Amino acid sequence: MNFLRINIVIFLLTLSGFLMAQVNKNQVKTIIVDAGHGGSDSGAPGTVTNEATITLSVAQKLAKALRTEFPAIKILETRPTTAFPGYAANKDAANKWRADFANRNGGDLFISLHCNAAGRRPGGWYEKRVVGHTNQVRTVKKGKKRVKKTIRVPIYEDFWVENKAVGTETYIWAVGKNDQKISSVKNNDDYYSEETETSDELQLPDPNNPAEKARMLIYAQHYFRKSYLLANLVEQEFTNEGRTSRGVQQRNHKGIWVLQATGMPSILIEMGFVSNKEEEQYMKSETGQEAIVKNIVKAVKGYVEKTNIAVEQAPK
């Protein structure tokens, strides 16, 4: 009979299934909101609060705002309380749990919230400088005798160094041939940032391991561009808000390990410097937190619109 027709029908059904899958793959159905740190890990210290406290508060507000803005999208939180995510035993286990939670729930976007820090101390610190010299008479031993000797000694003055590092930055996992350059981090010694946190348990992807290499290739092909798109939109919104944007940072180090462990577009937002008194106050305040949440929601909205349009316009 009509084998040909049946074949055509099967072909069309297969094709439409494939196209649906393509559309669904690009449709954002689940967003993972991740409050950085928690449990015994309070993150970077401020003068009156710390990173873990700020990230939790902003994450809770962000999850709520995303649910209102996108009623059809499932919004999940890795860390809804002050405890480690999944009540993990330590920081590394907590990060593994974060990635596992995002993957197991089929997340389409992973947004991790953090605060930056720089300098010797939050707020600022005293340093000494030489402002002149003076003569001092001291008694010194010369053989068996004690003699007086005039020496020149510096006069020191304490001066206050304000911790001025300021601004937002959004991290994405770096891919491609620039890895070497990218992993050489811009930091000076005083810079805190996520990458200074040492970790024994978490391993960076090993390019000599075929499975790991394949996984990174999937990231490069499917998630990198989207992560970059969202990161740019976030920094753009911060700029529009009048914040200082330090831009999108492409890195691969243990501090942002979670970004490559999540099989989805993922970004890590440094919402500002908790070590800067003014930015700490901003990130701690209701108005500051509401502005940050508004900025991120707007960026996600732009992302959802852009990725959906890209799918509809694809000539396939």
Q: How far is the CB of 41 from Zn ion (least distance, A)?
A: 9
Pick 43 or 119: Cβ nearer Zn ion: 43
Q: Please say which residue, 51 or 235, places its beta carbon nearer to Zn ion.
A: 51
User: Contact 248/235 with Cβ under 8 angstroms?
Assistant: yes
Half-sphere exposure of 217 (CA within 13 A, CB side): 8
Give the residue with the Cβ less far from Zn ion, 43 or 288. 43
CA distance 222 to 283: 33
Q: 193 vs 113, 238, 275, 312, CA distance in Å?
A: 13, 19, 11, 39
| 300 burial via Cβ count (<10 Å: 0-12, 13-18, 19+) | buried
Total H helices, total E strands in the chain: 9, 8
Phi and psi, residue 115, nearest 5°: -125, 145
Whichever of 229 and 268 has its CB closer to Zn ion, that residue is 268
* Residue 53 beta carbon to Zn ion: minimum distance, rounded to whole angstroms: 12
Q: Which is nearer to Zn ion, 37 or 226 (CB)?
A: 37
Residue nearest to Zn ion (CB): 114
Closest separation between CB of residue 43 and Zn ion, Å?
5
Task: Say how far apart CA 49 and CA 280 lie, in whole Å.
Answer: 8
∠ CA 28-307-226, nearest 5°, is: 85
Instruction: Give bridge partners of residue 150 from the DSSP assignment.
Output: 137
| CB 269 to Zn ion: min, Å | 10
**Which is nearest to 39 in space by CA: 92, 99, 87?**
87
Query: Minimum distance from CB of 114 to Zn ion (Å)?
Result: 3
Residues 174, 101, 299, 270, Cα dihedral to 10°: -60
How far apart are CB 288 and Zn ion at their closest, in Å? 17
Residue 194 or 280 having the CB closest to Zn ion: 194
Q: Which is nearer to Zn ion, 38 or 43 (CB)?
A: 43
List interacting residues with Zn ion (CB under 5 A): 36, 43, 114, 194
Shortest Å, Cβ 250 to Zn ion: 18
Residue 12, CB half-sphere, CA atoms under 13 Å: how many?
5
What is the nearest approach in angstroms of Zn ion to the Cβ of residue 78?
13
Beta carbon nearer to Zn ion, 36 or 107 = 36
Q: What are the tokens at 100?
A: 């596992």
